């Protein structure tokens, strides 16, 4: 269980008091809203009263009027329009909704999605030439194209007009399309900048609908807009929250036969919609099409209105997803083996790993899993014909796009945003890239970036955890990045603690004294190794309602757990005392801190077990439990032992916060008698 930093969100007490008095909210709910930037009477009203009127005017987007006029001219002159999309969920849903609406509008329309394996990401010249040869006059890109400067210039040469709609970061030079619609364009006046690609596509549809008096026909598409928005992991606030909240109201009885079939094979039929269920249930199955075969299967799923055919496609996607999971597991294990075989890995702030044996379609998912394991930015590359192409995933606080941009001379192509990116480069540039990224990280990465963070809203008493509070919290849904599920710090004695689950990796407990609340912690089973019934603990948790035998009760979903605050304060005191002592000169032995050769040997063996690759850090609460210490005061003798090991050059260690980072000089032969400090105990 890795140490995490608990970061309590700083609420504005004045704003909180204002919305309590003006809106009649409870202090807990008011703080949760203020923590999410919902801190005025108007913002609170809009937050709780989402309607189709909540959307901004699409014509605030630069070039929107030009794009609408060009599309309607194509319709009126019976020109052929090609929708050019991307092969991920955002691209598939973008392609689907624009294709279907343009058909409704009376346009002659087809769609094109490049083959991930043969063509790679983005617009390519070969596809443009083929599209023009097939008689198309207008191409509309969705969720792609903002960096396609050369490709759009070529398109202009061959007489194929291009409208770009995208949401990715803009580079210094924009493509010379007849319209470039992206809220992130410099000088763009659209008030919400964080739309997914499918959100930008929907704004184009909304603008077309306003112009043609068809706005009543577009809201049904929000089901698919929400799927793409959630899958692309954009913030669920502002217009993205409007999209998602409205969609969740209609999705259980969706009009779209493909989405209905996909929900059935994902075991979501009849269940409450959440961002998690979309992100982990529907998203991977749609992504599997582009990763394993071709993304056009996913588009066909949505644009067909044939229930049996849609079910057949959904079942095929489900099987593709299972195949994808097997591939992903194999690549993940190979990548871990390569990373851990590199002796310099612990010193790297950014890890780059590459192989010629990896399926390009799943390495992005593997990158995310590697970030979870090592908690540092990861780039994973698949090499074919001496070209390395792949994905980057980052951690909060490190802008991977800017890191790549600082090394852009090494790439054939790259693009993305703060947390994720894609790229291709020559194989012989891989090693130089890793060095360049680590040089950039050494200059720009803050000290604690590589320690996982848990953001917490506030502390709460166990007796405050009631059904009525949880019901109020549920009105704040849907949750996601930007509108995170509320989390709290609770403390009290633990009871009935045990491992649960098929593989006994999960945790069940009760927390509290007079009033007790049950808690469940996924992948926290090892807590039982160092925490005992009756001990006081603090935990970070979210809250939910547990229903069993028609009875409802509050339940904590435990995210992290540690010893109570008084234990941590005493450890801090011991660390401060340790830092203030020159052990060789100042320390006076007493019977309480007597040491023996056996104690030193046992402690060194424990440190050897911990000094494996990438896992040479230990929290002092964990150290206490593993060596059987009940009182933090007893850490004193172990600090002395660390000093003895350091004096003998057996160890280098550094204390950061309540953790110790260390490395051992394995194989070094020493005699304890050579230690001046050890001799004080003889």
pLDDT at residue 66 in the model: 98
Q: Does residue 336 register a pLDDT over 80? A: yes
Compute the average pLDDT of residues 566-581.
85
Query: How does residue 324 score in pLDDT terms, banded at 50, 70 and 90?
Result: confident
Q: Does residue 594 register a pLDDT over 80? A: no
Report pTM: 0.78
What are the CA-CA distances from residue 184 to residues 28, 171, 658 (Å)?
A: 35, 10, 41
Tokens of 492: 């009290």
User: Which one has a higher pLDDT value, 649 or 629?
Assistant: 649
What are the CA-CA distances from residue 526 to residues 546, 590, 625 (Å)?
A: 24, 36, 12
Q: Does residue 588 register a pLDDT over 60? A: no
| Cα torsion through 574, 578, 584, 590, rounded to 10 | -10
Determine the straight-line distance between the first and last CA of the chain, rounded to whole angstroms.
38
pLDDT at residue 570 in the model: 84
User: Which one has a higher pLDDT value, 193 or 116?
Assistant: 193
Q: Alpha-carbon distance 247 to 220, whole Å?
A: 8
pLDDT at residue 645 in the model: 92
Query: How does residue 613 score in pLDDT terms, banded at 50, 70 and 90?
Result: very low
580 Cβ contact partners less than 8 Å away, ≥ 6 residues apart: none
Q: Does residue 664 register a pLDDT over 50? A: yes
pLDDT at residue 586 in the model: 65
User: Other CB atoms closer than 10 Å to residue 288's CB: what's the count?
Assistant: 25
Query: How does residue 677 score in pLDDT terms, banded at 50, 70 and 90?
Result: confident
- Could you tell me how many helices (H) and strands (E) the chain has, helices first? 25, 21
Q: Alpha-carbon distance 112 to 131, whole Å?
A: 9
User: Other CB atoms closer than 10 Å to residue 326's CB: what's the count?
Assistant: 10
User: Other CB atoms closer than 10 Å to residue 279's CB: what's the count?
Assistant: 17
Compute the average pLDDT of residues 203-209.
98
457-473 tens-digit pLDDT? 999 999 999 999 999 99
Nearest to 109 by CA among 83, 144, 72, 135: 83
**Element of type H or E holding 520:** strand 516-521
133-175 tens-digit pLDDT? 999 999 999 999 999 999 999 999 999 999 999 999 898 999 9
214-248 tens-digit pLDDT? 999 999 999 999 999 999 989 999 999 999 999 99
Compute the average pLDDT of residues 63-72.
98
**Element of type H or E holding 459:** strand 458-459
Produce one character per residue of 26-55: b if its CB has 16 or more CB atoms within 10 Å, e if not: eebbbbbbbbbebbbeebbebbeebeeebb
What sign does the CA torsion over 246, 251, 254, 258 have? positive
Nearest to 445 by CA among 531, 376, 379, 520: 376
User: Other CB atoms closer than 10 Å to residue 216's CB: what's the count?
Assistant: 9
**Element of type H or E holding 653:** strand 651-656
The three-state DSSP-derived secondary structure of 185-243 is: CCCCCCCCCCCCHHHHHHHHHHHHHHHCCCHHHCHHHHHHHHHHHHHCCCCCCHHHHHH
Query: 3-state DSSP: the chain helix, strand, coil percent, rounded to 5?
Result: 50, 20, 30
670 Cβ contact partners less than 8 Å away, ≥ 6 residues apart: 648, 649, 650
Domains and CATH numbers, the chain: 5-9+454-563 (2.40.50.460), 55-320 (3.90.1640.30), 342-444 (3.10.310.30), 568-679 (1.10.10)
pLDDT at residue 636 in the model: 86
Q: Lowest-pLDDT range, 390-399, 481-490, 607-616?
A: 607-616
Q: What percent of the chain has pLDDT over 70?
A: 96
pLDDT at residue 614 in the model: 43
User: Which one has a higher pLDDT value, 183 or 288?
Assistant: 183
135-145 tens-digit pLDDT? 999 999 999 99
User: Which one has a higher pLDDT value, 532 or 276?
Assistant: 276
Full DSSP string of 575-615: HHHHHH--HHHH----GGG---HHHHHHHHHHHHHH-BTTB
Tokens of 596: 């023996």
User: Which one has a higher pLDDT value, 120 or 515?
Assistant: 515
Q: Alpha-carbon distance 361 to 178, whole Å?
A: 32
pLDDT at residue 136 in the model: 98
Tokens of 243: 């999209």
Query: How does residue 589 score in pLDDT terms, banded at 50, 70 and 90?
Result: low
The winner for highest mean pLDDT among 39-48, 53-62, 660-669 is: 53-62
Compute the average pLDDT of residues 407-429.
91
pLDDT at residue 611 in the model: 59
């Amino acid at each position: 269980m890795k140490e995490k930093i608990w970061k309590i969100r700083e609420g504005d007490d004045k704003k909180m008091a204002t919305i309590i008095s003006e809106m009649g909210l409870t202090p807990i709910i008011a703080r949760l809203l203020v923590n999410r930037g919902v801190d005025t009477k108007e913002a609170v009203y809009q937050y709780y009263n989402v309607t189709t009127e909540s959307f901004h005017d699409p014509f605030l987007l630069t070039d929107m009027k030009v794009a609408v006029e060009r599309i309607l001219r194509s319709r009126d002159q019976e020109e052929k329009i090609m929708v050019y999309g991307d092969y991920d969920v955002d691209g598939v849903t973008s392609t689907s909704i624009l294709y279907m609406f343009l058909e409704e509008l009376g346009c002659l329309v087809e769609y094109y999605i490049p083959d991930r394996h043969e063509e790679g990401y983005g617009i390519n010249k070969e596809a443009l030439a083929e599209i023009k040869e097939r008689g198309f006059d207008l191409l509309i890109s969705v969720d792609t194209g903002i960096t396609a400067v050369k490709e759009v210039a070529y398109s202009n040469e061959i007489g194929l007009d291009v409208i770009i709609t995208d949401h990715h970061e803009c580079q210094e030079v924009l493509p010379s399309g007849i319209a470039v619609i992206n809220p992130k364009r410099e000088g763009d006046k659209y008030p919400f900048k964080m739309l997914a690609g499918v959100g930008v596509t929907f704004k184009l549809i909304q603008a077309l609908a306003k112009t043609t008096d068809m706005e009543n026909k577009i809201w049904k598409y929000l089901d698919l807009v929400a799927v793409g928005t959630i899958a692309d992991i954009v913030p669920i606030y502002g217009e993205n929250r409007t999209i998602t909240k409205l969609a969740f109201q209609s999705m259980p009885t969706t009009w779209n036969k493909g989405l209905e079939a996909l929900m059935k094979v994902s075991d979501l039929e009849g269940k409450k919609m959440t961002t998690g269920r979309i992100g982990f249930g529907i998203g991977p199955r749609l992504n599997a099409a582009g990763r394993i075969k071709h993304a056009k299967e996913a588009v066909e799923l949505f644009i067909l209105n044939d229930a049996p055919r849609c079910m057949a496609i959904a079942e095929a996607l489900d099987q593709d997803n299972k195949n994808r999971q097997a591939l992903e597991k194999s690549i993940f294990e190979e990548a871990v083996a390569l990373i851990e075989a590199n002796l310099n890995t612990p010193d790297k702030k950014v890890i780059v790993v590459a192989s010629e044996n990896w399926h390009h379609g799943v390495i992005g998912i593997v990158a995310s899993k590697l970030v979870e394991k090592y908690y540092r930015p990861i780039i994973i590359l698949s090499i074919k014909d001496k070209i390395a192409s792949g994905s980057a995933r980052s951690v909060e606080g490190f802008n991977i796009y800017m890191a790549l941009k600082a090394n852009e001379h090494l790439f054939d192509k790259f693009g993305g945003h703060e947390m994720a990116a894609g790229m291709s480069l020559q194989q012989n540039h891989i090693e130089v890239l890793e060095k360049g990224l680590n040089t950039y990280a050494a200059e720009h990465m803050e000290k604690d970036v590589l320690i996982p963070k848990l953001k917490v809203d506030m502390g709460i008493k166990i007796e405050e955890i009631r059904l009525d509070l949880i019901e109020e919290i549920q009105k704040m849904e849907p949750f996601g990045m930007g509108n995170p599920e509320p989390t709290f710090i609770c403390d009290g004695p633990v009871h009935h603690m045990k491992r649960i689950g098929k593989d006994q990796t999960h945790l069940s407990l009760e927390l509290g004294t007079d009033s007790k609340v049950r808690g469940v912690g996924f992948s926290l089973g090892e807590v039982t190794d160092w925490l005992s019934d009756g001990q006081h603990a603090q935990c970070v948790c979210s809250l939910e309602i547990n229903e069993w035998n028609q009875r409802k009760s509050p339940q904590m979903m435990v995210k992290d757990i540690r010893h109570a605050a008084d234990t941590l304060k005493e450890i801090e005191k011991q660390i401060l005392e340790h830092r203030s002592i020159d052990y060789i000169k100042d320390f006076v032995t007493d019977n309480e801190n007597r040491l023996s050769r056996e104690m030193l040997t046992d402690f060194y063996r424990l440190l050897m077990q911990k000094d494996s690759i990438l896992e040479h850090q230990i929290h002092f609460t964990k150290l206490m439990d593993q060596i059987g210490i009940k009182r933090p005061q007893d850490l004193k003798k172990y600090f002395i032992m660390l000093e003895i090991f350091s004096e003998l050059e057996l160890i280098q260690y550094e204390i950061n916060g309540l953790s110790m980072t260390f490395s051992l000089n394995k194989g070094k032969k020493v005699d304890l008698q050579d230690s001046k400090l050890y001799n004080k105990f003889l």
